[in-house]
Structure 1
Amino acid sequence: MKKFILVLNLGSTTTKVALFRDLNCHIVKTYSHDKELISQNINEQKAVRYHTLMMFFCECGVRPEEVSIVASRGGLLHPVEGGTYLINEDMLKDLTEGRYGDHASNLSGILAADFAENYKIEAVITDPVVVDELCVEAQYTGLKNVKRTSIFHALNQKAVARKYAESIKRDYEELNLIVIHMGGGITVGAHHLGKVIDVNNGLNGDGPMSPTRAGSIPADGLLKYIERSGLSLSDINKLISKQGGLLSHLNTEDIRDIVADIEHGDKNSEEVLNAMAFQIGKEIGAKAAVLHGEIDHIIFTGGISHSSYVMELIRPYISFLAPIMVYPGELEMEALAYGAYTVEQDRNLLKTYRAEETHD
């Protein structure tokens, strides 16, 4: 009897797998991978990651045949509206070819599709990082042929927004919220009546710096740096998205280590962490303006929100705007299971991904 939802969430260094009965988590496991594997491209990692998935079934005593649907983290695709999408041939082709970028999340969908094909079931993604609900004004930059793109922690941001709405017995679609996901990247979203109408691109140099990402950089300074360093476009992208932020300044991305250094009198670490908090506060203020100051709640989530030290640095910048709620960690596995469960209950909610004819 098919009775489980299989949830896959692949990160750059981990494979997280769970089984849900309806919306109740039956078991969840996280597997860490060595540097040799994660240095390979996503297609080279595929066999090892799939083996990890099958090992999970052996360890938890459940047969793969008992899975009714696979719920996967969404990868880098063309912009889509929020919701749950079938992993079809168009999506699989874009993920496999890395048409919109290479990221470990692409492999989630690829692995889910393989499993689904082997066991004759469907695989879906929910609220991928490319959810784009930006208002027209938010898409503009000062250059005619350059537009802002929406890449953010859509899955977890929308999950905690819905969780908060449920806690006060309101609908997400009737609230104005500012949601901040603070992890390896930091994204700040203005949620207006169920749509994220403005959010910083937390991957590619927009918004506050984070543990590994540079955030917004003055264009003149960046251009001069490129000229001096002679780095390629690929190298600069890596610098901005993987080697920036706290890692660039302090040679570590671990908030716990940085706070410990501060408590032992490290003034440089203190100054850098204060600067990150300042930038987060400033970004929240910008989203408050987007919402015309009509904010029901400010919600923090992500791994860094576990740090009371960081939270206390940010609060003075924003406490006058609206009440603050903290959901430490993330609700991604629950959100993926929820997306799959809802489309099993109502097929009309399942959306179709179509490949774009052209891609600049």
Structure 2
Amino acid sequence: MEKFILVLNLGSTTTKVALFRDLNCHIVKTYSHDKGLISRGINEQKSVRYETIIQFLKDSKVAPEEISIVAARGGLLQPVEGGTYLVNEDMLDDLTSGKYGDHASNLSGILAAEFAGDYDIEAVITDPVVVDELCIQAQYTGIKGIRRTSIFHALNQKAVARKYAAGINKNYEDLNLIVIHMGGGITVGAHHLGRVIDVNNGLNGDGPMSPTRAGSLPVNGLLKYLDRHNLSHQEINKLISKQGGLLSHLNTEDVRDIVAAVEKGDTHSAEVLEAMAFQIGKEIGAKAAVLHGQVDQIIFTGGVSRSEYVMDLIKPYISFLAPITVYPGELEMEALAYGAYTIEQDRTLLKTYRAEVSHD
């Protein structure tokens, strides 16, 4: 009997697990964790999260020996190009040490490797958030020593780009696309012939404001804000990446609640949503310029794209640029399974992660 691909996608508060045969989802389940667990460091969560995965297999009546490969969400690593990577010792060292940041997503690769080691199979990750294919021009800033970095929804952006390409019987590598992931953070990528040559850093204060992130800020205004409130670097980073955007203005990040308030006549909520749509439209226009105006399709994805109200606010700014397609929600589990499946079919596609060599 053909074996399964086990897919692991660990977030801050959830463990999402799925089984695929080829590219067909057999079963998927999301486990929510209590605050007691998620308040611990990621290494302290390992045993509970691992047991969750084993319990999922028991509930699914699938033995570990029926798994051929583990496909995991990529964590915070050094910048890499897009693709599927073997979870090797170099990667494990960087995920476990938190060298590039501590996030629950690091546990995906760590636990995938543990499971793979227990059952003598391979573990892989695909298109982690640190995929960096920026053209050299996109990396420059106006201050020597400060470079723009690529942190974005690489997995889902590339997944929906490939899905669109397949739907029109073309290769992703033959198209120019602008892909917008709208979730808690918003990233807008210029996909040029299969590479994301420009994208806003959706985590650390770049691009449009989003439900929980501040987006680009006027530097002088930010400096004055720091002085007024006497904030530490840690506090301002939290404000920018977790407490900004809609949450800062409206005390909620839930777009459904905000739209409901607008429909009841809340003009301030309407104004804030319109401002977010304005900023998203500007960012899309900038990416169209990067692609020299040669845009085959504009593609929206992520949870916020389910809101017709928000989409109707954005479309007037961009409809003249290219046709628009919307894939609401996300395709992360499918994308992870796809990455594992493709390297099972063609081993030459498997990439090797190498830790950055220190020059100290």
Aligned to 2:123: 123
Aligned to 1:15: 15
Distance 1:158 1:130 in 2: 13
Question: Secondary structure in 2 aligned to 1:239?
Answer: helix
Q: Is the 8 A contact 2:2 2:21 kept in 1?
A: no
Question: Secondary structure in 1 aligned to 2:357?
Answer: coil
**1:1-360 alignment runs, 5 A limit:** 3-358=3-358
* 1:152-199, Cα deviation, whole Å (9 max, x unpaired): 011110110011011111111110000000001100000001110000
Unpaired segments ≥5 residues, structure 2 = none
Scaled by the length of structure 1, the TM-score of the pair is 0.98
Distance 1:223 1:43 in 2: 36
Shift of 1:46: 1.5
> Which piece of structure 1 moves more, 228-237 or 173-182?
228-237
Shift of 1:36: 2.3
Q: Is the 8 A contact 1:2 1:67 kept in 2?
A: no
Shift of 1:310: 0.6
Percent identical among aligned pairs is 81
**One-letter identity of the residue aligned with 1:339:** G
Distance 2:269 2:2 in 1: 52
Question: Secondary structure in 2 aligned to 1:40?
Answer: coil
Scaled by the length of structure 2, the TM-score of the pair is 0.98
**One-letter identity of the residue aligned with 1:105:** S
**One-letter identity of the residue aligned with 1:309:** Y
Distance 1:230 1:45 in 2: 34
Cα root mean square deviation, aligned: 1.2
Aligned length: 360
Q: Is the 8 A contact 2:190 2:288 kept in 1?
A: yes
Distance 1:240 1:111 in 2: 30
Q: Is the 8 A contact 2:6 2:20 kept in 1?
A: yes
**One-letter identity of the residue aligned with 1:100:** Y
Query: Deviation above 6 Å: which 4+ runs of structure 1?
Result: none
Shift of 1:271: 1.0
Change in Cα spacing, 1:211 to 1:146, as seen in structure 2 (3 Å) is same
Shift of 1:41: 2.0
Q: Is the 8 A contact 1:206 1:215 kept in 2?
A: yes
